[in-house]
Structure 1
Amino acid sequence: MGFIKNLLSLALLGALATALAPLDFPQEDIDSGKALQEIGRTAYDTAIARLEAHPTAKCTKDNVRVRKEWRRIPAAERIEYVKAVNCLMEKPNVYENVTGPRTMYDSFGVLHYKLTPYVHNSAYFLLFHRLYVWTFEDKLRTMCGYTGSFPYWEWGLDATTGVENSPVFDGSETSMGSNGEKVSGGGGGGNPMFPGGSGGGCVTKGPFVNYTVNFGPNTARDPLAYNPRCLKRDLNTQICAQWASLRNTTETITQSPDIALFQANLQGDFRWPDARKWGFAVHGGGHFAIAGDPGGDFYFSPLEPAFYLHHGQIDRMYFIWQNLDWEQRQTMAGTITMMDRPASRNGTLEDVLDIAPVGESYRFGQLLDTVGGSPFCFVYE
């Protein structure tokens, strides 16, 4: 019986891997998000079938966690998530010999700052951020008792109705706080390359209205020095619609036959001619749809609480892309420095990612699968 069950599971995996023809989706289904729902469901089914066929001591179908889009998480659970984030903002910083960081939440900002030159536009981008976000989730659970679903933000759902109206940013108690106060001339998150949004000043209501950003920005003489200030946001629907629409999200996945092009399309890496049409792409689009300070700061964006919902969506895209052709998509491409500057060797799955003192160290190869042979045990709804 067990042999037959394994055969059926393997057969299901093969069927799921070959059943999808993404380019056959009507454009209206791509633009509406229907296609994204379908490929997301296929990826979920593929991962669950693989888990059923090969459960581990740590991860089974019974205990696998399901990550959900913010608006699909019950209101009470969203409030508990915010409470857990606030709890991390009260736990002590784990870095020594720095004056700015005060909390465990801040420690994640230090880690991102230190590793940014190696984990963006490099071989390490996707797997670093997968471990980074998972470690944040793990701290919410182990240090602050959070038991609910980990959220992601599907930007495209707000590209037409307005980021300001999103359940993520509407300023209610079940949101991640509001837009910033309107500042004359907007500001594009402090970056003159971008059109100004609808805010720019301090968050005015809802969760995190009293949150203090303790250090940064990256342009400061000492970016890790104590520099307390309010959380600012400059929500920008124009950027969201241009770069992070449902269409862009879907086509980034379906038009990327290999890992090199997928991560280039995801980040708008102009070194790949095929990626240039995406502009700043969904990665930049999600970040600068939030913008502000520190959300618009490339190095310190994790000090913006919505960062983790944004990168949850990035990892969701990676999860979907991997599971549409699992056997061929357990790979890595690129060098180990940002934009290969300075020139560096290629990254390998045998390289070790050490995120101490915030988290632990793993081989990159251990981070490929969210449901087996890894520290993880999660899928995306």
Structure 2
Amino acid sequence: MDSQSLTRRAAPCTKPTVRKEWRSFSVAEKTEYFKAFKCLTTKPHDQRLAPSPPTPGVPVNASASLFDDMVYIHMSAIFLPFHRWFLNTVEQRLRSDCGYKGPLGYWDWTRDASNGIQKFSIFDGNRQYGLGSLGRASNNFVVTDGAWAGQQLVYPSLHTIKRNFTTTPFREGRMQPEFAITKPNMNVNDAVKASAVDAVIKGNKGDFAKFYNQFDILEGFHSGVHFSMGGDMGDTSYSPNDPLFFLHHGMLDRVWALWQNQHPSNKKAFSGGSTWALQSPEAWKTYGPAGMPPNIGPTARIPNIGFGDSVTVADILDIKGGYLCYEYK
């Protein structure tokens, strides 16, 4: 992949792929989307995956699938750049390994906030193209319908996906540390409403750290969707086990792209710390989600633990910059 990645990085982006909102997918597109993800689960482990050291207590499983590899690499402190790289890497493997020709998707949860995100038709039980329903306590919250039902997942241990939904994830001990939570009674549907997202997109001109601190407050739309869903989505390390992850993070990447397009000074802005600031209330109050020193900038390399292209933050700041070549519809 190295020579191909260098070619893509140098080439102009003249025909960007289009990422679409999930409800605009046709039934045929949804079906092909899931066929491609299921295809990844039939492909063997990529031997280039070589974390050093491995995740504590969870060594790389050599009998895992290529999809499981994707789940394993999902850990980084360079949050937005890493996830932009990660989604692009997944897209390239869907295309190169499984012949997928359709779009990646995103879930615009702002459109569902007024009725409740848990009521959105995305939770479809169809075995060919549905994301599956929310789990039930009577079945230990295992998702038993939809196209991903019954799929065996390796990390952190062998299981099938679970969802344990709540509208009030901020007060139920799902998010740690609790000292960072200042609005425990907030409803997740308030966290994802359009006005909350617009405030993030339209503020903090030219200042990525301030933008990110507003983007990723614990009682915000990123954490809110993850922890309201619970189950696999509530495990921040292994949340890609649930296909809902990719639609959620497609939306998060879109929010970042919308902020970047708000002002020229936003386009290449990137700054922040390289260490999580959750060691103490004082650290969190001082630095917030953007992290503690030592600080990093656009020259920072995105960790890939030997898997996929080795790129810097600067390589992925422009979604139509050459290495990346996509847009949101």
TM bucket, shorter chain: 0.7 to 0.9
Partner of 2:213: helix, strand, or coil? Answer: helix
Q: 1:99 aligns with which of 49, 57, 61?
A: 61
Partner of 1:68: helix, strand, or coil? Answer: strand
Taking the aligned partners of 1:359 and 1:291, their CA distance within structure 2 comes to: 29
Q: How does 1:36-115 map to 2 (within 5 A)?
A: 57-60=11-14, 63-94=15-46, 95=49, 98-99=60-61, 102-112=64-74, 115=75
- Give the match for residue 377 of structure 1: 325
Taking the aligned partners of 1:359 and 1:156, their CA distance within structure 2 comes to: 32
Partner of 1:353: helix, strand, or coil? Answer: coil
- Give the match for residue 146 of structure 2: 206
- Give the match for residue 87 of structure 2: 133
- Give the match for residue 276 of structure 1: none
In the TM superposition, what is the alpha-carbon distance from 1:144 to its structure 2 partner? 0.8
- State the AA in 2 paired with 1:93: H
TM-score under structure 2 length normalisation? 0.78
> Would you say the 8 A contact 1:334–1:347 is kept in 2?
yes
In the TM superposition, what is the alpha-carbon distance from 1:101 to its structure 2 partner? 6.4
In the TM superposition, what is the alpha-carbon distance from 1:111 to its structure 2 partner? 0.9
Matched residues, number = 279
Partner of 1:212: helix, strand, or coil? Answer: coil
Q: What's the RMSD between the two structures over aligned residues? A: 2.3
> Would you say the 8 A contact 2:134–2:143 is kept in 1?
yes
- Give the match for residue 179 of structure 1: 134
In the TM superposition, what is the alpha-carbon distance from 1:143 to its structure 2 partner? 0.8
Identity %: 32
In the TM superposition, what is the alpha-carbon distance from 1:100 to its structure 2 partner? 7.6
- Give the match for residue 260 of structure 1: 209
Alignment gaps of 5+ in structure 1: 1-55, 185-198, 217-226, 269-278
Q: 1:207 to 1:348 in 2, by over 3 A?
A: same
- Give the match for residue 27 of structure 1: none
TM-score under structure 1 length normalisation? 0.68
> Would you say the 8 A contact 2:270–2:297 is kept in 1?
yes
- Give the match for residue 183 of structure 2: none
Taking the aligned partners of 2:226 and 2:260, their CA distance within structure 1 comes to: 23
Taking the aligned partners of 1:343 and 1:164, their CA distance within structure 2 comes to: 35
- Give the match for residue 229 of structure 2: 290
Taking the aligned partners of 2:303 and 2:212, their CA distance within structure 1 comes to: 22
Runs of 4+ in 1 over 4 A off after TM superposition: 340-343
Range that drifts further, 341-350 or 152-161: 341-350
Taking the aligned partners of 2:140 and 2:109, their CA distance within structure 1 comes to: 19
Partner of 1:345: helix, strand, or coil? Answer: strand
Bigger radius of gyration = 1
Taking the aligned partners of 1:233 and 1:340, their CA distance within structure 2 comes to: 26
In the TM superposition, what is the alpha-carbon distance from 1:240 to its structure 2 partner? 3.4
Taking the aligned partners of 2:278 and 2:300, their CA distance within structure 1 comes to: 17
In the TM superposition, what is the alpha-carbon distance from 1:242 to its structure 2 partner? 2.7
In the alignment, structure 1 residue 365 sits paired with structure 2 residue 324: no
In the alignment, structure 1 residue 324 sits paired with structure 2 residue 262: yes
**CA deviation vs aligned residue, 1:59-85 (integer Å, no higher than 9, x gap):** 11xx21111110011121011001111
- State the AA in 2 paired with 1:141: R
Taking the aligned partners of 1:240 and 1:137, their CA distance within structure 2 comes to: 29
Q: 1:211 to 1:245 in 2, by over 3 A?
A: same
In the TM superposition, what is the alpha-carbon distance from 1:135 to its structure 2 partner? 0.6
Q: 1:316 to 1:343 in 2, by over 3 A?
A: closer
Q: 1:159 to 1:328 in 2, by over 3 A?
A: closer
Taking the aligned partners of 2:140 and 2:164, their CA distance within structure 1 comes to: 4
Q: 1:346 aligns with which of 289, 295, 302?
A: 295
Q: How does 1:187-202 map to 2 (within 5 A)?
A: 201-202=141-142
- Give the match for residue 308 of structure 1: 246
> Would you say the 8 A contact 1:69–1:153 is kept in 2?
yes
In the TM superposition, what is the alpha-carbon distance from 1:104 to its structure 2 partner? 0.8
In the TM superposition, what is the alpha-carbon distance from 1:213 to its structure 2 partner? 2.3
